[in-house]
Structure 1
Amino acid sequence: MKQITIERAAPGDVPRLQRIGRETFAETFAASNTEENMRKYLEEGFSAAKLTGELENSHCEFYFALLDQQVIGYLKLNTGSAQTEIKDNKSLEIERIYVLQAFLGKKVGQLLYDKALQVAKDKGLEYLWLGVWEENRRAIRFYEKNGFVAFDKHIFRLGNEEQTDIMMKKMLSGNLKM
């Protein structure tokens, strides 16, 4: 396989971000949710206005995984007030790591996770955290393999349905900013 590169998304990347976001979310969750709930989430969660606002927010960062300039996955990170729950200035939220199904098992998710870890270390943060759907066993195993432990649960709304996410955390020992 050719070299996969990780590149930060810019405000002009909304169309690419919409495409990869909608495609990977649908691949991952369409079989487990109603068509109506999926359509509503994909329209709202990946609207041009929403993504533009997030790309312009200094507390949000998006990264693409690229293979021959084709986007095959992406990462969304939040700090400070952009975090969905904890909003701790000492933490980094991994809101999304999504990879096209055709590239699952090819270390793309690991490269994106490694980028998140590097961003957290570069910022001198104390820990990473995330929420992962309790039914997404593959993702849970991935995060456990990378040192995350469950610490709480929260509700994720997809259309008119409430789903439970397991909240997981990884401490970055020895990375305290002085």
Structure 2
Amino acid sequence: AETFATDNSPEDMAAYIAASFNLRQQMAELADPASTFLIAEVGGVAAGYAKLHAGEPLEGVEGANPVELVRLYASREWLGRGVGQALMCACVDEARQAGHRTIWLGVWERNGRAQAFYRKWNFRAVGKHMFQLGSDPQTDILMERAV
């Protein structure tokens, strides 16, 4: 929530968090064999996490045998300190070991910092799709890269 709270209404953020991060939803995601979660720790404290999900990609994703990078977040105090880099490296390694040849993701069109990060990792834009944040339909840029 800390990543997007300043750019979205409190009501839309609350609706998204209630739908996406409630206990039942989190338990279902953790139990899903198609999902892999990676946790970055610094000094024994969680500093960020990533989620990969193997499944049908959105239209526009072109690469072979894709896996989605659903989430990659570093806590605010760890931004720019290597946590995102470490998580991305682990995601690429995990995808490769699982036999995937492509990683794809959706990134909010207004999140320039994340887009720059993904471009550094050789992701390229391949399309757009709508992402619903509460009552606000937002445009995500679809990006992919070879593993």
Over the matched positions of the two proteins, sequence identity in percent amounts to: 37
Match for 1:122: what amino acid?
A: Q
Which entry has the higher C-alpha Rg, 1 or 2?
1
1:128-167 equivalent positions in 2, closer than 5 A: 128-167=103-142
- Structure with the larger helix share: 1
Task: Determine whether 1:112 maps to 2:87.
Answer: yes
Corresponding residue of 1:78: 53
> Given the superposition, is the C-alpha separation of residues 28 and 154 from structure 1 closer, same or farther in structure 2, using an over 3 Å criterion?
same
Displacement of 1:128 in angstroms is 0.7
Corresponding residue of 2:16: 41
Q: Normalising to structure 1: TM-score of the pair?
A: 0.77
- 1:4-38 deviation per Cα after TM superposition (whole angstroms, max 9, x unaligned): xxxxxxxxxxxxxxxxxxxxxx2111111111111
Displacement of 1:126 in angstroms is 1.5
Corresponding residue of 1:15: none
Question: Is the 8 Å Cα contact of residues 36 and 52 (structure 2) preserved in structure 1?
Answer: yes
Question: Is the 8 Å Cα contact of residues 67 and 102 (structure 2) preserved in structure 1?
Answer: yes
1:94-109 equivalent positions in 2, closer than 5 A: 94-109=69-84
Higher relative contact order (CA 8 A, sep 6+): 2
Question: Is the 8 Å Cα contact of residues 64 and 102 (structure 2) preserved in structure 1?
Answer: no
Match for 1:141: what amino acid?
A: A
Superposition misfits of 4+ residues, deviation over 6 angstroms: none
Corresponding residue of 2:7: 32
1:62 to 37, 44, 69: 37
- 1:46-77 deviation per Cα after TM superposition (whole angstroms, max 9, x unaligned): 01100100100100111111112211110010
Structure 1 unaligned segments of length 5 or more: list them.
1-25, 173-178
Structure 2 unaligned segments of length 5 or more: list them.
none
Displacement of 1:89 in angstroms is 7.7
Query: Size of the alignment, in residue pairs?
Result: 145
Q: Distance in 1 between matches of 2:97 and 2:39?
A: 19
CA RMSD of aligned residues (A): 1.6
Displacement of 1:44 in angstroms is 1.3
Q: Distance in 2 between matches of 1:169 and 1:136?
A: 16
Q: Normalising to structure 2: TM-score of the pair?
A: 0.93
Question: Is the 8 Å Cα contact of residues 154 and 167 (structure 1) preserved in structure 2?
Answer: yes
SS in 1 for 2:3: helix
- 1:56-101 deviation per Cα after TM superposition (whole angstroms, max 9, x unaligned): 01001111111122111100100025x6x36998111101000111
Corresponding residue of 2:28: 53
